[in-house]
Structure 1
Amino acid sequence: MALDRAVADYLRHIAIERGLSANTQAAYRRDLEGYLAWLGAHGVVEAPAVTAAHVSEYTASLRTPEGQPVRASSLARVLSSIRGLHRFLLDEQLVEVDVAREVRPPKLPGRLPKAITIDQVRALLETTDGDDLLAVRDKALLELLYATGARVSEAVGLNVDDVIDADIVRLLGKGGKQRIVPLGSFARDAVDRYLVRVRPVFSGLGRSTPALFLGQRGARLSRQSAWLVLQRAAERSGLESHVSPHTLRHSFATHLLQGGADVRVVQELLGHSSVATTQLYTLVTVDNLRDVYTQSHPRARWTAGGAAPQA
């Protein structure tokens, strides 16, 4: 089979059978168009003619192109597209071997999660003080996000019945996994106030729904709306760094570890399947300790002129 036809069939497969998003489909298309162009320039136009050497050579060409080299994250995405194509060709029995099976994407550098300080969280939450209906709802939402470390999708997916015994919330995480997380007194008070004063008003403006957090028209609050709530609060609090709902999740974990919480407990609270993911936050706290030590200890750093500080 001709490669261009094989790629067209594969793109149709990921769109219809796998249901990938339009943006993901567009990324796959761009990646594979570049791959096809390279193969064509090397005289390879039929699917069975592609070898493992071709895949390796193309990968090498992306690592050291003319001009700016491709970033590791971009290279990993391109290889994912190529590996998916060749798996598809083998599954469809269009080739006898998956020539991309042994090609491994580059190891991406670990990115430490970003957290804001406790004082910054406090300033952020204080921007929602007030008796206005939206302010009361926004306070409850932000307090809950920080108190539980919930993902924004988990927070907006909450139903009223998921608030158990006033101080415990049941979150539905990735893969449909449920976990129970304490709510904390500040979040509990904010949620109680919202349930009593605001939710009945908003609920009366729309169709009946079990959702905990509602918009002004009575429908379940969307992730985008929750993101905008946080953005407005961040702007009012004067936070210059980018703040997202995940920032509160990162801050939740970081502040727990700084306070002495065991990493396994934090793992359970966050709903991480692997403790290795949670351990990223321990690196954040170590960096913070190092910074504080360097700034505070009289013999931890040199003066600007290169001389040792006086004891």
Structure 2
Amino acid sequence: MSDNIKIHNKSSRPDNIVIRDNHKIEKCIEIQNKLPSFMKDYFIYLKGSVSVSSRLAYLEDILFFCQYLVETHEHTNVNDTSEITLSDFSSIKARDINLFLGEYCSRYYKKIGNNTMIFENNNRALARKKSSLSTLFKFLYRNEQLHENITDGFNPIKLPKPQPDAIKRLDIDEVAIMLDAVESGNGLTEREKIYWKKTKLRDKAILALFVTYGLRLNELRELNISSFNFSRGEFTIFRKRGKEVLMPINKTCEYVVKDYIENERPNSEEIPEEHRDALFLSLQKKRITERAITSLVKKYSSISMCTSRDKGYSPHKLRATAATSLIQNGFTIYDVQNLLDHDNVTTTQLYAAHKKNVKRDIVKNFEWLAEKNTDDDSIE
């Protein structure tokens, strides 16, 4: 897509969200043009039934499978993925999919330039590929293009059950150290302090929003000036699957965001038009990148944990930090589920397992009988 294309946006969504999704749609169309024409009905089905991100992920997995068929000459003799026929697909059995996932995908080689790269997929990645192929084959069967539903024969892929103890997050005192580091510069190298002086208000606002609301990386990056309505005490988040959510803003976050906007963020006339509404900007006066946000989070979290920069935590660990901190402060898992936009409350329950001494606290504060002071008892 040309960078000069303008978006005619009449929706309530800001231009940056529309443009972001449009880039993904363009990628979807590009992949669809490389896939067989008999999948056209399936493309329409995806367009109306899943989010743009899921649609892109499914199409990438299906293209990968079709490339495998062409490269290995399994079930087809064509030289291009777009030439694969429905008849070729009709010859594919469940066993072929199981071999593709279990044997080929787990470890395969690709020639890239003069180098041969080794690629490996863990069970989570294999499960996603299996899901993409299951969706395709089920649709082709329901659409009466295939005479057999082979998906029942796909081997199960066991995913490790998440363990509460494996969830990495900062303790409350470590959050305090992290926020102090961005406030004072403590723990930064002399080189880091050069940039810190230019971005400390921005970085403080980013960290405060992460640990208060448990925002996803992309949710924070896509925030705009227009996302905030300070007079009403709220701001708008654009979440996965196109969900638009109004979030109340507390005094701390209102202060740090306003402080950044008024005292550090460049004036509007200095910012390129396409980035003028972006809340968080780079030193180049462009919307900050996901990589830059990840880098600053790892930097400040590593200071709080007294470890090296590469051992610092990612933004997702601050999401876990927000969840466990809220639960430790007495909020229910359903409150936290709603705030963090968890699809399933079982995800939130993993964070609840970090609440320390919960059984002891419950029992201690639920005494049926008053404690008897034996020292005051008279002996008759």
- TM-score between both structures, scaled by the size of structure 2: 0.58
- Inter-partner Cα distance in structure 2 for 1:257 and 1:169: 23
Deviation (angstroms), 1:107: 4.1
- Which amino acid in structure 2 is aligned with residue 119 of structure 1? D
The letter of the residue matching 1:186 is T
Q: Give the direction of change, closer, same or farther, for the CA distance of 1:85–1:262 in structure 2 (3 Å limit).
A: closer
Question: Where do residues 28-107 of structure 1 align in structure 2 (5 Å cutoff)?
Answer: 28-29=64-65, 32-33=68-69, 46-52=88-94, 54=95, 58=99, 72-84=123-135, 86-87=137-138, 90=141, 95-101=146-152, 103=154, 105-107=156-158
AA at the equivalent of 2:236:
R
Distance 2:141 2:217 in 1: 39
Residue 297 of structure 1: aligned partner: none
Residue type of the alignment partner of 1:246: H
Cα distance in 2 for residues equivalent to 1:106 and 1:252: 31
| 1:190 aligns to 2:256 (yes or no) | yes
Is 1:152 matched with 2:188?
no
Partner of residue 374, structure 2:
none
Change (3 A) 1:56 1:144: closer
Residue of structure 2 aligned with 1:121, choices 175, 179, 203: 175
How many aligned residue pairs are there? 274
Name the counterpart of 2:331: 261
Relative to structure 1, is the Cα distance of residues 123 and 21 closer, same or farther in structure 2, using a 3 angstrom cutoff? same
Contact 2:302/2:312 (<8 A) preserved: no
User: Would the alpha carbon gap of residues 190 and 76 (structure 1) be closer, same or farther in structure 2, given more than 3 Å must change?
Assistant: same
**Which one is further off, 165-174 or 89-98?**
89-98
Contact 1:202 1:214 (8 Å CA) reproduced: no
What residue is the counterpart of 2:161 in the other structure? 110
Structure 1 position 93, deviation (Å): 5.5
Deviation at 1:94, TM superposition (A): 5.0
Change (3 A) 1:119 1:225: same
SS at 1:251's partner residue?
A: helix
2:205 partner SS: helix
Q: CA RMSD in A?
A: 4.3
Assess if the C-alpha contact under 8 Å between 1:136 and 1:198 holds in 2: yes
Using the alignment, how far apart are the partners of 2:176 and 2:38 within structure 1? 48
Q: Tell me, what secondary structure is at the counterpart of 1:179?
A: strand
Unmatched 5+ stretches in structure 1 = 1-6, 294-311
C-alpha change, 1:103 and 1:263, in structure 2 (3 Å) is same
Partner-residue secondary structure (3-state), 2:298: helix
Contact in 1 for aligned 2:238/2:245 (Cα 8 Å): yes
Aligned position for 2:317:
247
How big is the shift at 1:82? Answer: 4.0
SS at match of 1:169: strand
Q: Which residue of 1 aligns with 2:190?
A: none
Contact 2:75 2:91 in 1 (8 A): no
TM-superposed CA distance for 1:210, in Å, is 1.8
Query: Residue type of the partner of 2:130?
Result: L
Q: Which range is displaced more, 85-94 or 123-132?
A: 85-94
Q: 1:242 to 1:102 in 2, by over 3 A?
A: farther
Structure 1 residue 218 displacement after superposition: 2.5
User: CA 1:119/1:106 → structure 2, altered by over 3 Å: closer, same or farther?
Assistant: same
Q: 1:258 to 1:196 in 2, by over 3 A?
A: same
Aligned AA (1:48): S
Aligned residues of 2:58 and 2:132 also touching (Cα < 8 A): no
Write the deviation string for residues 147-186 of structure 1: whole angstroms up to 9, x where unpaired: 1211121112112232233653322211222333343333
Aligned match of 2:292 in 217, 225, 239? Answer: 225
Q: Note closer, same or farther for the CA distance 1:169–1:217 as it changes in structure 2 (3 Å cut).
A: same
The one-letter code sitting in structure 2 at the alignment partner of 1:116 is L
Distance in 2 (alpha carbons) for counterparts of 1:279 and 1:61: 32
Residues 90, 126 of structure 1: alpha-carbon distance in 2 compared, 3 angstrom cutoff: same
Q: Name stretches of at least 5 consecutive residues in structure 2 with no aligned partner.
A: 1-33, 47-54, 77-86, 107-120, 185-195, 362-380
Instruction: Flag the 1:22–1:266 CA change in 2: closer, same or farther, 3 A.
Output: closer
Could you tell me how far apart the structure 2 residues matched to 1:77 and 1:34 are? 21
The 8 Å contact of residues 38 and 58 in structure 1, kept in 2 or not, is answered as: no
CA contact (8 A) 1:128 1:138 kept: yes
More deviation, 259-268/82-91: 82-91
C-alpha distance in structure 2 between counterparts of 1:108 and 1:151, whole Å: 23
Q: TM-score, normalised by structure 1?
A: 0.69
Q: Deviation of residue 135 (structure 1)? A: 1.0
Task: State the one-letter code of the partner of 2:146.
Answer: V
Q: CA deviation at 1:246?
A: 1.0
1:120–1:239: 8 Å Cα contact kept in structure 2?
no
Helix, strand or coil: the match of 1:253?
A: helix
Q: Which residue of 1 aligns with 2:238?
A: 172
Q: Report whether the alignment pairs 1:282 with 2:352.
A: yes
SS at match of 1:136: helix
1:211 matched residue in structure 2: 278
Post-superposition shift, 1:252? 0.3
Q: CA deviation at 1:257?
A: 0.4
